[in-house]
Each structure stands twice: as structure tokens, then as C-alpha cells.
Amino acid sequence: MGNPVMHFEVVGRDAEALQGFYRDAFDWQMRPSGPGYAMAHPDEEGGINGGIGAAMEGSAGHVIFYVAVPDLEAALSKIEGLGGSTVMGPTEVPEGPTIAMFADPEGHVVGLLKADS
């Protein structure tokens, strides 16, 4: 048995703007969880919760996770409309899923994974 992803975290210079970006891009609920930090709840069976907040002073921040979406092109288009940018368009991984990557408004690179139909 592998080790499943149980949490994700996005931290950066403007916690409020990042929380709004991910809320609007994926319809996630944001629940405040301390100063400059909120728990993100996808509220989908099999989805994981994570945290989005302020980076430690002096740090530019970090992020790592993949988000399953039914249509990679549509998700990238929506993300670009919200101030993000495409880093890698839809790409089939040999013997694996189809993925894409984008950068959020602060430049964090995030993966998208085509959800099974």
C-alpha cells in the first residue's frame, strides 16, 4: 500500500489573495484557522483538505499538490482568467494520467490531473 496524500499547503506573500484565488478557481470552502491561515475544504469524496496561508517571514512560499479536474483545457482557461498562467498544457504521461501545470498569481507551480470520466 502506498502513502496517500493527506494534506496540501500553499503559503505565500498575500494569504488573503491566495485563499480567494483557490476558492474561486475550484469552488473550495475556506475556513479561517488562525492569523493569516485558512483550511481549504474541497468537500468532495476522496478529496483532501489542506492549508493556505502566509509564508514565514523572509520566505517566498511554497506549494505542492495536484488537483483532479474533468477538463484540463477548461480549468487552465479559468485559471488564466483569474490571473494564473499555464506552465505546461495537457500532457499524457506514458502509461499514466493526463496532466497539466499552471502557476498561480504568485508564481507557485501546481499540477492538474484529468479526472476519470
- 67-90 pLDDT per residue, tens: 989 999 999 999 999 999 999 999
pLDDT above 90 covers a percentage of the chain that reads 58
6 or 35: whose pLDDT is higher? 35
Predicted local distance difference test score (pLDDT) of residue 1: 35
Residue with cell 477548461: 74
In the predicted model, is pLDDT for residue 7 greater than 90? no
pLDDT one-digit tens code per residue, 36-71: 999 998 877 878 889 999 988 888 888 779 898 999
Q: Which set of grid coordinates corresponds to residue 88? A: 505546461
**Per-state percent for the chain, helix, strand, coil, to nearest 5:** 20, 40, 45
Model pTM score: 0.74
Please tell us whether the domain made up of 8-114 is placed in CATH 3.40.50.720. no
Spatial neighbors of 95 by CB under 8 A, at least 6 apart, are none
Indicate the SS3 state at residue 108.
coil
Domain ranges within the chain, ordered by starting residue: 8-114
